[in-house]
Structure 1
Amino acid sequence: MISILLPDLRGGGAERVNIDLAHEFVRTGHEVEFVLMRPHGELLNEARKSFSLIDLAAPRARNIPLTLARYLRRRRPDALLVAMWPLTVIAPLAVFLSGHRCKVVVSEHNSLSLQYREWGLGHRAALRTSMVVGYRFVDRRVGVSSGVAADIAALSGLPLDAFDRIHNPVPSRPKLSDEAIQDAEVLWSAPKGARVVTVGSMKAQKNHPLLLGAFAQMSRPDARLMFVGTGAGEADLRALADDLGVASQVIFAGFHPDPTPFYQTADLFVLSSDYEGFGNVIVEALACGTPVVSTDCPSGPAEILEDGKYGRLVPVRDSQALADAMQDALTTSHDPALLKQRASEFAPEIAAKRYLELLCP
Structure 2
Amino acid sequence: MRVLVLSTDWNAFNETSAVTKRLRMQARTVERMDVLVPHGPKQLVQISGNASVRGFGLGRILGSLRTIAAGWRLQRPDVVSAQDPFFTGLIAWVIAWMRGSKLHLQIHTDLFDTQFTSHSPGNRLKLLLARSLLSQATSIRVVSKRIADSLKARGVKAPITVLPVFIDLENLKKAEPLDKRARYPNFKKIVLVVARLEKEKNVTASIRAFAEIAKADATAGLVVIGSGSERVSLENLAKELGVEKKVVFEGAQDPFPFYKAADLLLLTSSYEGFGMVLIEALAAGSPVVSYDVGLAREAGAIIATPESMPRVAIAVLSEGKRGKLTLDFPNEAEYRELWLADISLAVSGTESRTGEKESEMRPTVGYVGQGFIGKNYADELESRGYPVVRFSLEEPYRKNKDNIKDCDIVFIAVPTPTTPDGFSDAIVREAVALVGDGKVAVIKSTMLPGMTEAIQAQFPKKIVMHSPEFLREATAAYDAAHPDRNIIGICTETPEVHALGQKVISILPPAPFELVCSSVEAEFIKYAGNNWLYIKVVYINILYDLVRKLGGNYEHVRDAFAADPRMGRSHLDPIHASGHGGPPGRGAGGHCFIKDFAAFRAMYEKVLSEDSAGIEALSGMEQKNVKLLRDARKDLDLLEGVYGK
- For 1:226 and 1:189, locate their aligned partners in 2 and report how far apart those are by CA, in whole Å: 13
CA drift of 1:289 comes to 1.4
Is 1:234 aligned to residue 238 of structure 2? no
Indicate the SS of the match to 1:325.
Answer: helix
Q: Give CA-to-partner distance per residue, 1:313-352, whole Å, 9 cap, x none.
A: 102x32xx1111111111224356xx25x35535454444
Q: Give CA-to-partner distance per residue, 1:273-303, whole Å, 9 cap, x none.
A: 2211111111101111111111123x32123
Which of 224, 249, 253 aligns to 2:250? It is: 253
Identical amino acids, percent of aligned pairs: 23
Segments of 5+ residues of structure 1 without an aligned counterpart are 306-310
Question: In the alignment, what sits opposite 2:271?
Answer: 275
Q: Which amino acid aligns with 2:195?
A: G
User: Given that residues 26 and 339 in structure 2 are in contact (C-alpha distance below 8 angstroms), is that contact kept between their aligned partners in structure 1?
Assistant: no
- What is the TM-score with the length of structure 1 in the denominator? 0.79
Question: In the alignment, what sits opposite 1:143?
Answer: 142
Is 1:82 aligned to residue 79 of structure 2? no
CA drift of 1:22 comes to 1.5
Question: In the alignment, what sits opposite 1:195?
Answer: 190
Question: In the alignment, what sits opposite 1:133?
Answer: 132
The structure-2 alpha-carbon separation of the partners of 1:291 and 1:263, relative to structure 1 and needing over 3 Å to count, comes to same
User: Given that residues 148 and 162 in structure 2 are in contact (C-alpha distance below 8 angstroms), is that contact kept between their aligned partners in structure 1?
Assistant: yes
User: Given that residues 271 and 295 in structure 1 are in contact (C-alpha distance below 8 angstroms), is that contact kept between their aligned partners in structure 2?
Assistant: yes
- For 1:239 and 1:226, locate their aligned partners in 2 and report how far apart those are by CA, in whole Å: 15
CA drift of 1:201 comes to 0.5
Q: How is 1:64-143 mapped onto 2 (pairs within 5 angstroms)?
A: 64=64, 67-84=67-84, 85-97=86-98, 99=99, 101-113=100-112, 114-120=115-121, 124=124, 126-143=125-142
Q: Which amino acid aligns with 2:94?
A: L
User: Given that residues 215 and 323 in structure 1 are in contact (C-alpha distance below 8 angstroms), is that contact kept between their aligned partners in structure 2?
Assistant: yes
CA drift of 1:109 comes to 0.9
Q: How is 1:1-361 mapped onto 2 (pairs within 5 angstroms)?
A: 1-9=2-10, 18-26=19-27, 28=29, 31-39=32-40, 52-61=52-61, 64=64, 67-84=67-84, 85-97=86-98, 99=99, 101-113=100-112, 114-120=115-121, 124=124, 126-152=125-151, 157-159=155-157, 162-174=159-171, 176=174, 181-182=178-179, 187-190=183-186, 193-218=188-213, 219=215, 220-256=217-253, 258-297=254-293, 299-305=294-300, 311-315=301-305, 317-318=306-307, 321-334=308-321, 339=324, 342=326, 344-345=328-329, 347-360=331-344
The structure-2 alpha-carbon separation of the partners of 1:335 and 1:239, relative to structure 1 and needing over 3 Å to count, comes to closer
Indicate the SS of the match to 1:35.
Answer: strand
- Relative contact order (C-alpha < 8 Å, sep 6+): which is higher? 1
Please provide the CA RMSD for this pair. Answer: 3.3
The structure-2 alpha-carbon separation of the partners of 1:210 and 1:163, relative to structure 1 and needing over 3 Å to count, comes to same
CA drift of 1:228 comes to 0.6
Segments of 5+ residues of structure 2 without an aligned counterpart are 346-645
Across the two proteins, how many residue pairs are aligned to each other? 332
User: Given that residues 268 and 291 in structure 1 are in contact (C-alpha distance below 8 angstroms), is that contact kept between their aligned partners in structure 2?
Assistant: yes
Indicate the SS of the match to 1:360.
Answer: helix
Indicate the SS of the match to 1:95.
Answer: helix
Indicate the SS of the match to 2:120.
Answer: coil
Q: Give CA-to-partner distance per residue, 1:82-108, whole Å, 9 cap, x none.
A: 1122212331112222x2x44432111
The structure-2 alpha-carbon separation of the partners of 1:181 and 1:118, relative to structure 1 and needing over 3 Å to count, comes to closer
Indicate the SS of the match to 1:296.
Answer: coil
- For 2:329 and 2:119, locate their aligned partners in 1 and report how far apart those are by CA, in whole Å: 35
Q: Which amino acid aligns with 1:262?
A: F
The structure-2 alpha-carbon separation of the partners of 1:177 and 1:145, relative to structure 1 and needing over 3 Å to count, comes to closer
Comparing 245-254 and 78-87, the one that deviates more: 78-87
Higher gyration radius (CA): 2
